[in-house]
Amino acid sequence: MIQALIQSSWLIPLYSLIGMLLSLPWVAGMISRTGPRPAVYINLLMTLLSFVHGTLVFVGIWNQGGTEVGFQWLQVADLALYFRLDLSVLNLGLLELITGLSFLAQIFAIGYMEKDWALARFFALMGFFEAAMSGVVLSSSFFLAYFLLEMLTLSTYLLVGFWYAQPLVVTAARDAFLTKRVGDVLLLMGVIALSTWAGSLDFNELYEWVKTADLTPLAATLLGLALIAGPTGKCAQFPLHLWLDEAMEGPNPASILRNSVVVTCGAYVLIKLQPVLVLSPVTLTVLTAIGVITAVGASLVAIAQIDIKRTFSYSTSAYLGLVFIAVGTEWPGVALMLLFTHAIAKALIFMSVGSIIVTTNCQDLTEMGGLWSKMPATTLAYMVGAIGMVGALPFGGFWALRLGVDFLSYEHPVLAGIYLLVNGLTAFNLARVFRLVYLGPVLPKVRRAPEVNWMMALPMVTLAIFVLMVPLVMLRMSLLPPLAYLNIPLTTLLMLSGFAGFTAGFTAPLSKVWARSSQKPVRVFQDLLAYDFYTERLYRLTIVFLVEQLSRISSWFDRYVVDGAVNFVGAASLLGGEGLKYSISGQSQSYILTIVIGVGLLSLLMTWAMW
């Protein structure tokens, strides 16, 4: 039985795709009498089926070891393409994370979007979303992973632009799509180059090729930079980080997955490429630099935001920056633990954020307050997610951050300090949001804010319980270090950084009106963080301006040079034809004279050329 499930595990990514296809009659309005609920239940059933099938395969692989399954799907001349899935404990664990969070997010979406007229379309897009993510983590081929990452980019565009009647939503979807496309185009160059040099895009064969690869330093560097460009865009890292902030215009249930497992997929592809990236030390240095800039910069920007979804989207970029640091310093185990613990805790935080938004119809932190007594389940979920994300003993985030600080402290103590700094800033931001939203007096916009319905509370409470159980899961999988190997000084520093952040967040003066300081230096610093170091304006003054000028020059050249040359030839032909028709006299001697003159001129020309 288990063996049959393992051999048919290639169906796991297809279940959600099948659910999307079965939903199309409701999406297209071909079936309207039943309402959109059948499409919702179909996608829920398919996601549950993916989760159950993945769980059974995970148990089987745990007992008998990893394997590959798949089949050949294209044979043209010497080109053979295979659909192969790598079934390992790690891949299937990430698959369970994706399908489990997707199932909870879809249940949450039923309560969050129960009155939305396009509910069937939303669940069909969620199925497409899940299918792409499941395929990415299971794929054994870089070609297949790239193809599925493109599906992920498309699904991001469709989900961000779900409420397409709003102009701001359309702009956000366009910007998110184009920003990701920059990284995808560069990644495609890396895919083509790697296929040419290695002769294969299968991950296992790439790892063998790396052992004997003979690339010049320049070629290895260009290849590495192209390969990290795609994950940089997918993980919202500097300088391709602005899309995640704008993507918060989409529905919150999609944001739950986008800030937890979607960015995890991009980072996981980067981790699988890490053995190839070591060919270029420059690439690893650039990767680390991107992680440092994003981790520190996004953490600072997050504490200056007053939109509750945007403050946590920047926090997501910051934590993925820590993942980039871990990969750049060749510690993939640290990166994987960070991805696992962050995804679960951040999904729970975004569920609590969604509960607040659907109840209050407000996302402005300065207009909330006193919700702890009105929404106790939501408050509890937020608190559990907060302590599960930072370095608070004994929760999951603590063990992931401790591992990073411990490993980096020997060779890269400055980078270990970055981990401590990001932990403290994240704790400060979480405490700041908690004070503004849940504590203090009840403001008018949240005066009537009851707890959410059971369809939203059930997945939120379930995930909160799982966040609390993460240390037990890590212990069961032998991911926790023995107490004898616990570095007490570093562990103390990590806990102190989180405690200092929480203390500062609960004691720092926060103005409900968020008035700008009357002191110019403070006001300038506030604006610098609030506007993301003016990155968008910088892009407009540099890259966007340059592209606009090149577009105008290209348009002028096309209109007046290319079209002018074509029009000149056409006009010359027309005038020549009109002029020659008057030379037609009907007398043969004039025709012969014309031919003789033409042949004579041609002979003179050829004689002159030969001479």
Residue where a domain stops, chosen among 495, 530, 565: 530
122: Cβ contacts below 8 Å, ≥ 6 apart: 109, 113, 116, 159, 162, 251, 253, 254
What is the structure's pLDDT at 563? 82
Same structural domain for residues 118 and 150? no
Counting residues of the chain whose pLDDT is more than 70, the rounded percentage is: 95
DSSP 567: H
The answer, yes or no, to whether residue 233 has pLDDT greater than 80, is: yes
128: Cβ contacts below 8 Å, ≥ 6 apart: 16, 17, 20, 151, 155, 158
Q: Which residues of 86-113 are buried (b: 16+ CB within 10 A; e: fewer)?
A: bbbeebbbbbbbbbbbbbbbbbbbbbbb
Same structural domain for residues 46 and 9? yes
Same structural domain for residues 224 and 151? yes
Using alpha carbons, select from 250, 404, 258, 408 the residue that is nearest to residue 335.
Answer: 404
Position 545: which residue type?
Answer: F
> How far is residue 76 CA from its own chain's centroid?
33
Same structural domain for residues 169 and 290? yes
Counting residues of the chain whose pLDDT is more than 90, the rounded percentage is: 31
What is the structure's pLDDT at 467? 92
Using alpha carbons, select from 181, 179, 301, 158 the residue that is nearest to residue 240.
Answer: 179
Same structural domain for residues 99 and 147? no
The answer, yes or no, to whether residue 73 has pLDDT greater than 80, is: no
Using alpha carbons, select from 393, 378, 386 the residue that is nearest to residue 459.
Answer: 378
Domain range holding 131? 1-140
309 contacts 352 by C-beta, under 8 angstroms: no
Same structural domain for residues 152 and 130? no
What is the structure's pLDDT at 169? 85
Give the model's confidence band at 287: pLDDT under 50 very low, under 70 low, under 90 confident, else very high.
Answer: very high
Residue 245 within a domain: yes
Same structural domain for residues 15 and 86? yes
The answer, yes or no, to whether residue 350 has pLDDT greater than 90, is: yes
- For the chain, the domain total comes to 2
The answer, yes or no, to whether residue 528 has pLDDT greater than 90, is: no
Q: CA separation (Å) from 230 to 142, 287, 445? A: 12, 12, 41
The answer, yes or no, to whether residue 60 has pLDDT greater than 70, is: yes
Same structural domain for residues 293 and 420? yes
- 100-109, 479-488, 514-523: range with lowest mean pLDDT: 514-523
Which tokens go with 557?
Answer: 């050249």
Residue 572 within a domain: no
The answer, yes or no, to whether residue 611 has pLDDT greater than 90, is: no
Helix ranges, 215-307 (H):
217-234, 242-246, 252-257, 263-272, 274-277, 281-302
Residue where a domain stops, chosen among 115, 140, 165: 140
Region 567-578 average pLDDT:
79
Residue 566 within a domain: no
Q: Which residues of 160-192 are buried (b: 16+ CB within 10 A; e: fewer)?
A: bbbbeeeeebeebbebbbebbebbbebbebbbe
The answer, yes or no, to whether residue 432 has pLDDT greater than 70, is: yes
Residue 299 within a domain: yes
Same structural domain for residues 158 and 129? no
Same structural domain for residues 329 and 411? yes
479 contacts 377 by C-beta, under 8 angstroms: no
Residue 580 within a domain: no
Give the model's confidence band at 202: pLDDT under 50 very low, under 70 low, under 90 confident, else very high.
Answer: confident
Higher-pLDDT residue of 531, 233: 233
Same structural domain for residues 271 and 374? yes
Residue 101 within a domain: yes
Q: What is the pLDDT of the chain when averaged over all its residues?
A: 86
Residue where a domain stops, chosen among 140, 163, 196: 140
The answer, yes or no, to whether residue 333 has pLDDT greater than 80, is: yes
Question: Does an H or E element contain 58, and which?
Answer: helix 37-64
What is the structure's pLDDT at 318? 92
Residue 50 within a domain: yes
Residue 429 within a domain: yes
Question: Does an H or E element contain 68, and which?
Answer: strand 67-76
Q: Name the pTM for this structure.
A: 0.88
Question: Does an H or E element contain 74, and which?
Answer: strand 67-76
Beta bridge partners of 154: none
Which tokens go with 293?
Answer: 């800039």
What is the structure's pLDDT at 520? 67
Higher-pLDDT residue of 434, 581: 434
Same structural domain for residues 63 and 148? no
